[in-house]
Structure 1
Amino acid sequence: MRNIKLTIEYEGTNYHGWQVQKNAVTVQECIEKALSRLLGEKTGVVGCSRTDVGVHAYGQVAHFFTASAIPGEKFSYALNNLLPADIVIQKSEEEPENFHARYSSKGKRYRYLICNTAHQSALMRNRACHVRPELDFEQMRKAAEHFEGEHDFAAFQATGGQVRSTVREIYSMAVKRREDSLIELEVTGSGFLYNMVRIIAGTLIYVGMGKLAESDVPGIIRGLDRTKAGKTAPAQGLYLMEIYY
């Protein structure tokens, strides 16, 4: 059997997340249906990251096994003819049999977008979190630096996360102001807890609003208490940018 890796871009607005569910349309389901049509048999797909409802991706990765003779790089073209316009296979390639989209990954990069304007953007309403009060960008930038390094991020995990350890390492985190009135949070790490990036984003928004001080962040991390961090920021601002192998 051949092992085919897919790099997938999608707008998550119309989907109930990545993972197949009984009573809702998901990205994984659409890809599996397209593969079944293409190959003439039921084909399961294993994804790296279980993105939530409304979360977007530039670089989700999945793999599947097949006996098909279709060249690895051609699957993207064939599948894109069968997929809806808001799901695109940007790259397909054959990998060794032991490659696993989830377990072979070494790290991930996420982006979170904040639209800090008086009025919601009609074009970005499903693609960025809208915050009306003017945010203190410099305080947010300084607060973001405290997250870098290896920490126990128990205070930044939503209820429902099931992991053996809440210790994770953030390699880099940066906050920048873009020319299109968006504030961009970019974070790269070894792995992330359930809703971790969205809770970090919500905490930075609280700092920007003055509800938390930049100097509060180290104590929140050490305290391991979810109630001390900011609210979970909305899903539509989150993008899975890249997975490292």
Structure 2
Amino acid sequence: MRTIKLTVCYDGSNYFGFQRQAKEITVQQILEEKLARVCGEPVTVTGSGRTDAGVHARCQVVSFTTGGTIPTANLPRALNSILPEDIRALRAEEARPGFNARKDASRKEYEYRIRYTPEPDPFSRNYAWQMKERLDVEKMNEAAAKLMGTHDFSGFQSTGSTQVSPVKTIYRSCWETEADGTLVYHIAGNGFVYHMVRNLVWSMVQIGLGKKTPQAMAEELKQKRGEFENSPAPAQGLYLAKVEYEPFIYENEK
């Protein structure tokens, strides 16, 4: 059996998240159905992360085993010929036996996008949080900087988190403004509790609106409330941007 590391991207607007559901269409379901056709046998994939309904991925990594003989160089092209247009296979690699896209991930990076739209914009509604109010990005960045390092994020997890530990290390946390005025939050860490990024964004938006001070972020980190007390930021603004792994030897490099 071969172990394959497959990198895909997708527009999550039409899916009930990544993970397979009993009665809803998900990205995992579509990938497994199409991989079964390409590999000539049933395939079960493991994703690096379980994006929620409406969340997008620029770089989602999945792993699976197969006895199929299709060369990895041909796998993305074969998949893309039968995948829906809102899911694309980017690259495929032979991985070491036992490689697991979720358990072996050492760093994940997300981005969250906010657009200032005095009137609702039908073209960006599925790809950003649209806001009528201007935000103080300087104060939001001051708050974002307080997330750097290792912290207990139990106060920023939503009910249903399956993480063993809420203690996570954050390597990057900052807001940037793009040329068209879109605000983009970048956060990278060794792991994330359920809804953590969206809950952090919601809190920083309150700071950007002047409802809280940047120091409130540090105080909320210390509270360890057990779960987030407010609704998370809307799903459509969130993107899984990058997944990294510790170096290891691929089978085709031996």
Quickly name the TM-score band, shorter chain normalised. over 0.9
TM-score, scaled to structure 1 = 0.96
Kept in 2: contact 1:58–1:240 (CA 8 A): yes
Match for 1:143: what amino acid?
A
Fraction of identical pairs, as percent: 38
Kept in 1: contact 2:39–2:67 (CA 8 A): no
Kept in 2: contact 1:73–1:94 (CA 8 A): no
The residue number in structure 2 matching 1:38 is 38
SS in 2 for 1:185: strand
TM-score, scaled to structure 2 = 0.93
Match for 2:157: what amino acid?
Q
**Are 1:89 and 2:85 matched, yes or no?**
no
Q: Which runs of 4+ in 1 moved over 6 A?
A: 226-229
The residue number in structure 2 matching 1:23 is 23
Match for 1:48: what amino acid?
S
1-structure distance, mates of 2:213, 2:228: 12
SS in 2 for 1:30: helix
1-structure distance, mates of 2:10, 2:229: 30
Q: 1:229 to 1:22 in 2, by over 3 A?
A: closer
Kept in 2: contact 1:203–1:231 (CA 8 A): no
SS in 1 for 2:142: helix
Kept in 2: contact 1:128–1:236 (CA 8 A): yes
Cα distance, 1:116 vs structure 2 = 1.9
The residue number in structure 1 matching 2:249 is none
Match for 2:109: what amino acid?
R
Bigger drift between 73-82 and 9-18 goes to 73-82
2-structure distance, mates of 1:231, 1:186: 20
Kept in 1: contact 2:157–2:227 (CA 8 A): no
The residue number in structure 2 matching 1:197 is 197
2-structure distance, mates of 1:217, 1:43: 43
Bigger drift between 156-165 and 228-237 goes to 228-237
The residue number in structure 2 matching 1:132 is 132
The residue number in structure 2 matching 1:242 is 242
The residue number in structure 1 matching 2:123 is 123
Give unmatched runs, 5+ long, in structure 1: none
Cα distance, 1:40 vs structure 2 = 2.6
Cα distance, 1:227 vs structure 2 = 7.2
Alpha-carbon RMSD across the aligned residues, in angstroms, is 1.3
The residue number in structure 2 matching 1:158 is 158
SS in 2 for 1:181: coil
SS in 2 for 1:72: coil
**Are 1:56 and 2:77 matched, yes or no?**
no
Cα distance, 1:243 vs structure 2 = 0.6
Kept in 2: contact 1:13–1:54 (CA 8 A): yes
SS in 2 for 1:216: helix
Give unmatched runs, 5+ long, in structure 2: 246-254
CA-to-aligned-CA distance 1:205-243 (integer Å, 9 cap, x gap): 110111111111111100112677764100000000111
The residue number in structure 2 matching 1:114 is 114
The residue number in structure 1 matching 2:3 is 3
Kept in 2: contact 1:45–1:63 (CA 8 A): yes
**Are 1:173 and 2:173 matched, yes or no?**
yes
2-structure distance, mates of 1:37, 1:74: 14
Q: 1:212 to 1:230 in 2, by over 3 A?
A: farther
2-structure distance, mates of 1:106, 1:56: 20
Q: 1:59 to 1:168 in 2, by over 3 A?
A: same
The residue number in structure 1 matching 2:248 is none
Match for 2:152: what amino acid?
D
The residue number in structure 2 matching 1:141 is 141
Match for 1:74: what amino acid?
N
SS in 2 for 1:50: coil
2-structure distance, mates of 1:5, 1:42: 17
